[in-house]
Amino acid sequence: MSLILGIESSCDETAAAVVRDGFEVLSSAVASQIAVHAKLGGVVPELAAREHLKALDPVVSEALSSAGVTANDIDCVAVTQGPGLIPALLVGLSYAKGLSSNLKVPLVGVNHFMAHIYGAFLDTGMEELTDPAGYPMLALVVSGGHTSLVLVSSDGSARQLGCTIDDAAGEALDKGSKLLELGYPGGPVISRISENGNPQAFNFPRPLTGGAGKALAPEHRYNFSFSGIKTALLYHTRNHGGKENFSDELLNDTVASYQMAVVDTLVRKTMLAAKDFNVKQIVLAGGVACNKLLRSMISGRAPKNVKVRIAPPKYCTDNAAMVGGIGFHSFKKGEFISHDADSFARLPGIVKVPFLG
């Protein structure tokens, strides 16, 4: 039996969790900085770092006490090493180095992007995760920083089929919300307002899907682009006399149609890749995977013989349970990082996932 303490600080949530043997989440504590960044309309990296510094100790204490364990019971510290905001990552990594050194336990560096994929398996257990009937698996990772399709084989070999060439899907929702002065983060607000609007009212573009009379370029078959949708929203708003002149109905219809354009694009691309690679399972993960419309459309449009696995909402947005969970697999393999390891900002090339093979 191994207890892993996961620590997450890649963006604007400070999180710690205690996870037993990769799947049993004994605690998952998250301190959100949303209130701090909301005033500024987005995440300010240096400010995030300062907030992590304040929050880490109490969050780790909370994770340990709600798990009913002490620091001395921990077998390994797993920490998000990247990708993310460097000032924010550095705080978590330095803290984790200190802790692992004090406790004399190994330190595991976790790839945040992979951890999001793992979040969809936290509640399932090893058997489900390794069941060959679920492979090849296609993962759509959609967050504030990423929009990628990753193909994973049962032996753990993996490759990124495509990603966004400009904004991430979450960024498109956050920026759309900012443009319409609806607040930060935009995803949850847009989702809520959309419930009162008509998603077919306006036809926002579905970039790189081969629509609007434009053939889909082969090199962009699995890529995404969301900056055009955002520009279309800007012109739409201007054409209707500016946000201040929107009726409630126009606002609701605009937001619902905007959300539909983002979600429809994500789902179309996912289904294209799922068919092309004859996948057996589709996994949906990352903060935007909280979105109700996306969850229902991925399930609704997936071919009948394809299993759809969607991360539970509590493991979609940033959390440390996914870090402690995936970290267990590196711990088991003895893949530790040294105390002079650095954080990394960008997603490295994907060749394998750490939780298989």
Residues forming the site for Zn ion (CB under 5 A): 143, 318
Shortest Cβ distance from residue 155 to ligand KG4 (Å)? 27
Cβ atoms of residues 79 and 291 within 8 Å: no
Q: How far apart are CA 14 and CA 88, in angstroms?
A: 9
**By CB under 6 A, is residue 290 in contact with ligand KG4?**
yes
Q: How far apart are CA 319 and CA 9, in angstroms?
A: 9
Q: Which residue's CB is nearer to ligand KG4, number 135 or number 258? A: 258
Stretch that binds ligand KG4, among 15-23, 95-103, 127-135, 138-146 (CB under 6 A): 138-146
Cβ atoms of residues 141 and 113 within 8 Å: yes
Q: Which does 173 bind (CB under 5 to 8 A by kind): ligand KG4, Zn ion, none?
A: ligand KG4
Stretch that binds ligand KG4, among 69-77, 168-176, 218-226, 338-346 (CB under 6 A): 168-176
Q: How far apart are CA 239 and CA 229, in angstroms?
A: 15
b/e per residue 279-292 (b: at least 16 CB within 10 A): bbbbbbbbbbbbbe
**For residue 83, is the peptide bond before it cis, meaning its omega torsion is within 30 degrees of 0?**
yes
Quote the Cα angle for 230-234-235, to 5°. Answer: 120
**By CB under 6 A, is residue 191 in contact with ligand KG4?**
yes
Cβ atoms of residues 156 and 356 within 8 Å: yes
**By CB under 6 A, is residue 173 in contact with ligand KG4?**
yes
Question: Given its phi and psi angles, is residue 25 left (phi above 0), alpha (psi -120 to 50 degrees) or beta?
Answer: beta
Q: Which residue's CB is nearer to ligand KG4, number 164 or number 291? A: 291
Q: Which residue's CB is nearer to ligand KG4, number 3 or number 110? A: 110
Give the footprint of ligand KG4 on residues 298-317 (CB under 6 A).
Answer: 317
Q: How far apart are CA 146 and CA 166, in angstroms?
A: 10
Q: Which residue's CB is nearer to ligand KG4, number 111 or number 317? A: 317
Q: Which residue's CB is nearer to Zn ion, number 51 or number 318? A: 318
Q: Quick one: which of 6, 22, 82, 187 contacts ligand KG4 (CB under 6 A)?
A: 187
Stretch that binds ligand KG4, among 23-31, 64-72, 281-289, 322-330 (CB under 6 A): 281-289
Q: Which residue's CB is nearer to ligand KG4, number 225 or number 291? A: 291
Between helix 248-276 and helix 186-194 the angle, nearest 10°, is 110
Q: How far apart are CA 356 and CA 332, in angstroms?
A: 12
Nearest to 25 by CA among 293, 312, 244, 228: 312
**By CB under 6 A, is residue 185 in contact with ligand KG4?**
yes
Cβ atoms of residues 43 and 9 within 8 Å: no
Q: Which residue's CB is nearer to Zn ion, number 272 or number 321? A: 321
**By CB under 6 A, is residue 143 in contact with ligand KG4?**
yes
**By CB under 6 A, is residue 209 in contact with ligand KG4?**
no
**For residue 354, is the peptide bond before it cis, meaning its omega torsion is within 30 degrees of 0?**
no
Shortest Cβ distance from residue 119 to ligand KG4 (Å)? 9
Q: Which residue's CB is nearer to ligand KG4, number 108 or number 293? A: 293
Give the footprint of ligand KG4 on residues 10-69 (CB under 6 A).
Answer: 11
For residue 87, what are the contacts with CB-CB under 8 A and spacing of at least 6?
Answer: 45, 46, 48, 49
Shortest Cβ distance from residue 191 to ligand KG4 (Å)? 4
Q: Which does 290 bind (CB under 5 to 8 A by kind): Zn ion, ligand KG4, none?
A: ligand KG4
Stretch that binds ligand KG4, among 19-27, 52-60, 284-292, 349-357 (CB under 6 A): 284-292
Stretch that binds ligand KG4, among 243-251, 272-280, 287-295, 321-329 (CB under 6 A): 287-295
Return the amino acid letter for 204. Answer: F
**For residue 205, is the peptide bond before it cis, meaning its omega torsion is within 30 degrees of 0?**
no
**By CB under 6 A, is residue 291 in contact with ligand KG4?**
yes
Give me the residues that bind ligand KG4 (CB under 6 A), please. 11, 143-145, 170, 173-174, 185-188, 191, 286-288, 290-291, 317-318
